[in-house]
Amino acid sequence: MFDRWGRFVYRFRWATLAGGVVVLGLSIAGIFSVGNVGGNQPSTTTESDRAANLVQAELPQVVGSGSSFILLFSSSDLAVSDPNYQTALESAVAPLQSDPRVTSVVTPYGQSSNGLVSRDSHQAIVVVHVKDRSSVAAGYLSALRSKVHAGPLHVVLTGNVPINSAFNKTLEADLQRAELVALPIALLLLVLIFRSAVAALLPIGVALVTIAGGVAATVILSNYVFVSQYAFNIVTLVGLGVSIDYSLMFVSRFREELATGSSREDAVAKAMTTAGRAVAFSGIAVAIGLSSLLFFQGTFLASMGIAGAIVVGLALLYALTVLPAGLAVIGGGVDRLRVPWQRSTTGSTFWHSTATRVMRRPLLVLVPCLAILIAAGTPFVHLRLAGSGVDALPPGNEARQGYDTLVRDFAGYDNSEISVVAYFPNADPSTGAAAVAVADLGRRLQAMPGVVRVLAPVTGAHIALLTAVSNLDPSSDAARAAVSSIRAHETLAAGGQLLVDGQTAGDLDVIAFIRSHMIGALAFVLVVTYIVLFLMTGSLVLPLKAVLTNLLSISASFGALVWIFQDGHLSGWLHFTAQSIDPSVPVILFALVFGLSMDYEVLLLARIQERWRATGDNTRAVAEGLERSGRLITGAAAIMVATFLAFGLADVVLIKSIGIGIAIAIAIDATIVRALMVPSIMRLLGTRNWWAPQSLVRLHRRSRFGELAANPEAV
């Protein structure tokens, strides 16, 4: 099947290249098309979402149709009560009051001045309300800011709109920085691997066109389903890594076949039969991992899964069509512009001797490796999950600095709010038994530990909204216990229902939602990956080994994630604030790492299987398979690690943690797992590696998924 496809691409190479150019043109057009990235996110069925929907429907005046930002004024020598301070502040905000985009400006000198003056009386808050929602207001925020001339005062911009805008701008900057760092490093590593500039440029070219197609598809998709802004980071992250990996595999095999004297057509066909087959199975494995994110519908994770699967599909498309067509045209020119230290790339005595030494004493190697991975994963035991807040922005960001100042210096801003909705489907909450139930609920909330005060209830047609102001950290165990205590009383008198919203309730709901869906996602990935690896190898043992070793490397990376980002051991070097792990991070890491780790598993097993079919000697097949793929796996892993570490330079903690977490997992996978554990396990299992019942063996042969090159000895 793959041989025929390779020869088909060779015969129609010019038409294939023309098709690739057309797809690239459509991708460029798609990038600049109209999209709706970051639009309204669909709601899940969690309690906090139901509460928010009820408030939005019945009390729109509470939610409001616009948004707001805060101007934080300060002076080292003037007090807020000083006439000069007041004159400077009011002069600074006067232009905003006449701006048609501004609905109101609240200063500390008006009637509603509570909480607008700092404890030391040298800082003052001005709250500016605008008519548009945050995403729209962000477009003219800088124009409004430019109208504020503070004179002798210092002013900092923070609040809802600036913080949301800071996240979006920081994400864009992170993406650009990662691309600028990753591409040159990847090109340098490819030159070192191929020792030819032409060969090195091919994977970079495939990566660029793949990312362009992925971005375009994501923009277009955003018009039909919710797509998170984070999706572009995933497109670049995954697209760059897998495109270079797949191209590296194919170009390397094509050069090997040319070096043995094969014609261009035969070289393309043999590369397609071997490397192309491995790439196809690898792409399926990565797509399976990413598709697990689709289990989390109603969250931004689903959009990241779709975007990731699209870019993997494009990487496969280009790697199995345009790339071989280009190689068919270039032929021996793939080795042009060689670097001075050019040498043979057909094998590596280092990797052969490494595999041989490992297999002499497999248990002596396997046991310490298992101990290292288990020990590395132990920090994951004390994982603490909480939604990302302003702390996810870099400490030097203006909006974050302003927020930190509010929490530190202003009374009440270190408090959190618990929104409690009393819902009466068949009663008016302002009268009768329902009103009595609301009053009783208010008294119960007021008596709870950590509750400072309860605001007067706001009633609608069927709901009453009570806001409990708490002095507890919203991510603390005490705050979570308080919310759970409130929720323990699900029903109220007069047929009422009780629903809780707010940051703490939202965290609890998201964590519960992810836990409940993670089991299905995990089972799906493990089972489908097992089936795909069986179709590739024809063995029931090797897929099990692959899944278990993958889980070990993932657990080690999870442990490193907690040790670094939650415990904060490298916070100074990496410039972030130690904090709880966002609930989405372990899910994203699992989806990406499980799929990407299979890249090396598939490549290594494909080579070992070729030698096993050719020799029938398991030990020799493992040694020769690692000899012929070890250097390639090391190079591919180095490129992948460099790519993801470039995302570790991100300022947003969520992206930084994902980048570093994946880099650690791949480094572990390509060294401890593939170079040491796989040879030792396969040596211990011997010929049992390739076992399957005869009925499945016949099924596998009929499926033709296990096809090899026509002449196994040649590979």
Q: What is the pLDDT of residues 52-63, one digit of tens each?
A: 889 988 988 777
- Per the prediction, the chain carries an average pLDDT of 87
Q: How confident is the model at residue 637 (pLDDT cuts 50, 70, 90)?
A: confident
- What's the pLDDT score for residue 340? 65
**What are the pLDDT digits (tens) for 333-376?**
888 777 665 554 444 678 888 889 999 999 999 999 999 999 99
Q: How confident is the model at residue 40 (pLDDT cuts 50, 70, 90)?
A: low
Q: Which residues pair with 496 in a beta bridge?
A: 492
Q: Is residue 272 part of a domain?
A: yes
Main-chain dihedrals φ then ψ at residue 386, nearest 5 degrees:
-165, 145
Q: How confident is the model at residue 275 (pLDDT cuts 50, 70, 90)?
A: confident
Kindly state the helix (H) or strand (E) to which residue 293 belongs, with its residue range: none
Q: Which residues contact 60 (CB under 8 A, 6 or more apart)?
A: none
Mean pLDDT of 133-153: 91
Q: Is the separation of the CB atoms in 218 and 227 below 8 Å?
A: yes
* Residue 85 reports pLDDT greater than 90: yes
Closest CA to 199 of 160, 252, 237: 252
Q: How confident is the model at residue 135 (pLDDT cuts 50, 70, 90)?
A: confident
Task: Please state, in angstroms and rounded to a whole number, the distance separating the CA atoms of residues 402 and 224.
Answer: 37
Cα 217 from chain centroid (whole Å): 18
Mean pLDDT of 97-119: 87
**Residue keyed to tokens 């998709």:** 221
Where residue 276 sits, what CATH number does that domain have? 1.20.1640.10
Mean pLDDT of 245-257: 87
Q: Is the separation of the CB atoms in 124 and 60 below 8 Å?
A: no
Q: Is the separation of the CB atoms in 380 and 88 below 8 Å?
A: no
Q: Is residue 688 part of a domain?
A: no
Q: Is residue 331 part of a domain?
A: yes
Q: Is residue 557 part of a domain?
A: no
- What's the pLDDT score for residue 703? 65
- What's the pLDDT score for residue 112? 65
Q: What share of the chain has pLDDT > 90, as a percent?
A: 36
Q: Is the separation of the CB atoms in 604 and 617 below 8 Å?
A: no
- Compute and round to an integer the Cα radius of gyration of the chain: 30
Q: Which residues pair with 454 in a beta bridge?
A: 468
**What are the pLDDT digits (tens) for 496-532?**
999 999 999 999 999 999 989 999 999 998 998 888 8
- What's the pLDDT score for residue 444? 92
Q: Is the separation of the CB atoms in 265 and 204 below 8 Å?
A: no
- What's the pLDDT score for residue 348? 60
- What's the pLDDT score for residue 305? 86
Task: Please state, in angstroms and rounded to a whole number, the distance separating the CA atoms of residues 107 and 93.
Answer: 9
Task: Please state, in angstroms and rounded to a whole number, the distance separating the CA atoms of residues 380 and 585.
Answer: 13
Q: Is residue 269 part of a domain?
A: yes
Q: Is residue 640 part of a domain?
A: no
Kindly state the helix (H) or strand (E) to which residue 67 belongs, with its residue range: strand 67-74
Task: Please state, in angstroms and rounded to a whole number, the distance separating the CA atoms of residues 238 and 204.
Answer: 14
Task: Please state, in angstroms and rounded to a whole number, the distance separating the CA atoms of residues 592 and 80.
Answer: 52
Q: How confident is the model at residue 711 (pLDDT cuts 50, 70, 90)?
A: very low
- What's the pLDDT score for residue 346? 45
- What's the pLDDT score for residue 44? 65
Alpha-carbon dihedral angle through residues 683, 602, 631, 376, given to the nearest 10 degrees? -70
Q: Is the separation of the CB atoms in 643 and 621 below 8 Å?
A: no
* Residue 36 reports pLDDT greater than 80: no
Number of domains in the chain: 1
CB atoms within 10 A of CB 640: 29
Q: Which pair of tokens denotes residue 39?
A: 């639009």
Signed CA dihedral, 660, 662, 664, 666: sign only: negative
- Among 165-179, 449-463, 693-707, name the most confident range: 449-463
Q: How confident is the model at residue 706 (pLDDT cuts 50, 70, 90)?
A: low
Task: Please state, in angstroms and rounded to a whole number, the distance separating the CA atoms of residues 78 and 87.
Answer: 12
Q: Is residue 298 part of a domain?
A: yes
**What are the pLDDT digits (tens) for 585-608?**
999 899 888 888 777 787 788 888
Task: Please state, in angstroms and rounded to a whole number, the distance separating the CA atoms of residues 486 and 480.
Answer: 10
* Residue 715 reports pLDDT greater than 70: no
Domain that holds residue 324: 1-33+195-346
Q: Is the separation of the CB atoms in 252 and 345 below 8 Å?
A: yes
Mean pLDDT of 313-330: 90
Q: Is residue 333 part of a domain?
A: yes
Task: Please state, in angstroms and rounded to a whole number, the distance separating the CA atoms of residues 548 and 542.
Answer: 10
